[in-house]
Amino acid sequence: MTLYLSWLNMSNMKEGKCVVGEMRKDRENNSPGRVKELENSLSIALEVNDKFQRENVALLKSRPLDTMDEIAYRELEAENKKLKKRVQEADGETSIVKGIGINSPEMKKAQARSEHLQSELDRVKKENNNLFIRVADSLEVNEHHQNLNGKLRVRVSELEEENEKLSKQISDHIENKMETFRKSGL
């Protein structure tokens, strides 16, 4: 359709006709013969385009390299193919190694050891946590005992002072009684 429109535009411009009007006339007068003619023109154009593209590719491959850009492009293209092949090979080898490695006896042994070490680590962490709790409880008890010990020392000091006072009072009282007994002759 695009080919037809460009042909129509060019021919109408030469003749000085209105392009839109000519397109309307063509639409209204569109007969089955015209449709077949357009389809035939389209298929011919597509064939020519395909032939041109094939010839262009053949020319590009067969013509001699004459510029540095073309040489560099071809070298990069060849290198790219090599690298793609290496990537495919590496992917294949990696999948094989993964398949073998996961199911190997060494890997199973390592996984079992890892599971054992993980369970041992979990046990040690739990034990460590319990010890931290016990230390915290012991520190709390120690602080309580220190407070109580401080209060008891204060009370002991007070009792010692009272004991000295009472001892002095008793010895004074005994002295007084002894004095009175001596005076009375006993």
pLDDT on residue 108: 82
What pLDDT, in 10s, does the model give residues 8-23?
Answer: 444 544 555 565 566 5
What pLDDT, in 10s, does the model give residues 54-72?
Answer: 776 776 666 655 676 777 7
CB 22 within 8 A of CB 8: yes
Range in 15-19, 94-98, 175-179 the model is least confident about: 15-19
Round the average pLDDT of the chain to a whole number and report it: 77
What pLDDT, in 10s, does the model give residues 131-147?
Answer: 999 999 999 999 999 99
pLDDT on residue 4: 46
Q: What is the dihedral of CA 58, 61, 67, 73, to 10 degrees?
A: 120
Angle (nearest 5°) at CA 66 between 64 and 68: 130
Instruction: Indicate yes or no: pTM above 0.75.
Output: no
Q: Which residue has the higher pLDDT, 119 or 80?
A: 119
d(CA 129, CA 125): 6
